[in-house]
């Protein structure tokens, strides 16, 4: 992580500092700490630093599952973030598992609709045209 701190520190010192401060003051499983971790993962994601993003996203998702439950909107958002990381690496099957798990908020919920669009895109990338079409209609 020291290398990550050095790289990130130059570009986004506030994101890293906030996460570390919250871990120290609030604990690693506090909702605010998890938000900071997710924000840092997003920074890594935007930089194409997939492994670092994935590591944080897995931690956030697993902790939220334990603390909030698998169907909580924050947990589902974490799952979608990790699925997007997998998708951007061409890890279609892993992305698909998470995108299909995320459709629990109801058919008309904006997050569900986004997840369905992402799943359709995942199917297209796998050459699964009929399944993609069903989600896009």
Residue with the bigger pLDDT between 3 and 38: it is 38
Lowest mean pLDDT among 59-63, 95-99, 123-127: 123-127
Q: What is the pTM (predicted TM-score) of this model?
A: 0.71
CA angle 50, 54, 55 (to 5 degrees): 120
Quick one: pLDDT at residue 5? 47
Q: Rounded to whole angstroms, how far apart are CA atoms 35 and 28?
A: 11
Domains in the chain with CATH codes: 2-136 (1.25.40.10)
Contacts of 78 (CB under 8 A, 6+ apart): 38, 57, 60, 61, 64
pLDDT in tens, 14-52: 778 888 889 999 999 999 999 999 999 998 988 999 999
- With 90 as the cut, is the pLDDT of residue 62 above it? yes
At 2, the pLDDT band (50, 70, 90 cuts) reads very low
Q: How large is the average pLDDT for residues 53-68? A: 95
């Amino acid at each position: 992580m020291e290398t990550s701190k050095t790289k990130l520190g130059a570009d986004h010192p506030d994101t890293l500092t906030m996460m570390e401060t919250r871990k120290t003051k609030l604990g690693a499983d506090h909702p605010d700490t998890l938000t900071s971790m997710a924000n840092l993962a997003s920074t890594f994601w935007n930089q194409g630093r997939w492994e670092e993003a994935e590591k944080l996203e897995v931690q956030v998702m697993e902790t939220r599952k334990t603390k909030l439950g698998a169907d909580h909107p924050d947990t589902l958002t974490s799952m979608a973030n990790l699925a997007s990381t997998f998708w951007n690496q061409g890890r279609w099957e892993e992305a698909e598992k998470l995108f299909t798990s995320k459709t629990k908020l109801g058919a008309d919920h904006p997050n569900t609709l986004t997840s369905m669009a992402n799943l359709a895109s995942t199917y297209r990338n796998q050459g699964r045209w009929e399944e993609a079409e069903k989600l896009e209609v």
